[in-house]
Amino acid sequence: MRDRSSQVPVLAAARVAATLLCAAPLAGCSSSAAPTDEAIASYVGSPGETSSHGASAGAPRATRISVTVEGATGLQDHDGPGVTDPYVMLEVEGNRARTSVVEGSLTPVWGDSFAFDVRADSILQLRLMDEDSLSSDELIGTVVVPLPLLHVGESVQREAAFKNGDEGRVTLTLTGLGAPR
């Protein structure tokens, strides 16, 4: 019987590449642009790699991930001066969460954290919203972020652009977690 554990990083890289290709139009990339080897490596990582914030490569792979939505920059004013009330909706594997609303800000700071179960090919879908009290909340932008394979205790920071950066950028901190007890 063959040991398949050595195939896991290759399969994960292939899944990430496929996810990047499928998600590229949603993330504002041209549909003909394929992810580079460097882009795939930045999400998958190399065997034995350690992030600057966290666990050694000997730590177990994370089965959950903490997503902290740090803040956003470059948002456009959608409701008039000082009345954009942004929040972010997150979804991973069908599980949803939502940050708090920051009233009247084009540079919101949230610091809200959420834990999600993840697989090797999980993606994070973000929807940047503007809360409106007199009508339906307005969608400002969307982005899809392939989640990196992390070890328990390992943290990485990602920045994601909504609509090619025309509608702002959000900063995330991703931390690998073990199974809940």
More confident residue, 179 or 95: 95
**Angle, nearest 10°, between helix axes 8-23 and 37-44?**
120
5-177 carries CATH number 3.40.50.300: no
Q: For residue 77, what are its two tokens? A: 């004013």
- Distance (Å, rounded) from C-alpha 164 to C-alpha 40? 19
Q: What pLDDT was estimated at residue 165?
A: 63
Q: Considering the entire predicted model, what is its pTM?
A: 0.69
Q: Which of 84-88, 127-131, 166-170, 175-179 has the lowest mean pLDDT?
A: 166-170
Q: Per-residue pLDDT tens for 39-50? A: 444 444 433 333
Band (pLDDT 50/70/90 cuts) for residue 110 is: very high
- Distance (Å, rounded) from C-alpha 17 to C-alpha 154? 22
**pLDDT greater than 80 at residue 139:** yes
Mean pLDDT comparison of 2-16, 46-60, 65-79, 147-161, highest-scoring range: 147-161
Q: What pLDDT was estimated at residue 90?
A: 98
Q: For residue 61, what are its two tokens? A: 């792979």
Let me know how long the chain is: 181
* Structural domain spans, the chain: 5-177
Three-state DSSP state, 33: coil
Three-state SS annotation for 56-77 = CCCCCECCEEEEEEEEEECCCC
Q: Per-residue pLDDT tens for 54-93? A: 665 578 999 999 999 999 999 887 666 667 899 999 999 9
